[in-house]
Amino acid sequence: MIIVYTSKTGFTKRYADLLAEKTGLLAYPATKVPRELEKEDILYLGWMKVGKVQGLNKVQREKIRAVCGSGTGETAEPDPETVIARNDLAKIPFFYLRGGCFPLKEQKGVDKLMLTAFVRMLKTREPQDSKTEEAIRIIVEGFDGVKAENLEPVLQWLQEEGEWRQ
């Protein structure tokens, strides 16, 4: 098995690197999988955009054994069931990994427009509970949620699958 990832701003890559370091599995960006490893099974990691795990279409679907999606929420957003349905992941394990983001003023292009619109929408949401306030603050100020301990369920799965021994 190999680790394959798609990371735009580096948070998902950090998880891929942590996993590779811990397990000895090789990790590659989805666009740079060496030809001789194209037949390997894949543990896929991708950043999430509006509930879609990015880059999944860049690898052979039937080789993917499990998917990790990284986002900024405490849990997968909009919610785990929607993410599983939206990415067609009903038949394989899905793990959510809390990633992070750079402050809104450092974002560029379409991403900045989308996040600005999202913040505007969140500000009109009723009620303005602490979860909504936190979501706004994370996008505006930036946030780093990458922690090695978040990988525990993935490591456990790798162990159960016989792909890694502690």
Ligand X SMILES: Cc1cc2nc3c(=O)[nH]c(=O)nc-3n(C[C@H](O)[C@H](O)[C@H](O)COP(=O)(O)O)c2cc1C
Task: List residues binding ligand X (CB under 6 A).
Answer: 7-13, 47-51, 70-73, 77, 99-101, 111, 114-115
- C-beta closer to ligand X: residue 13 or 158: 13
Cis omega (within 30 of 0) on the bond before 93? no
Within 57-108, residue ranges assigned H as helices are 80-86
Q: Which residue is nearest to ligand X (CB)?
A: 71
Output the smallest distance, CB 52 to ligand X, in A: 7
Output the smallest distance, CB 64 to ligand X, in A: 18
- C-beta closer to ligand X: residue 32 or 39: 32
The secondary structure element, H or E, covering residue 149 is none
Per-residue CA distances from 127 to 38, 77, 122, 130, 133 (Å): 49, 18, 10, 9, 10
Output the smallest distance, CB 162 to ligand X, in A: 28
Q: Which phi and psi (to 5°) does residue 52 adopt?
A: -105, 125
- C-beta closer to ligand X: residue 38 or 74: 74
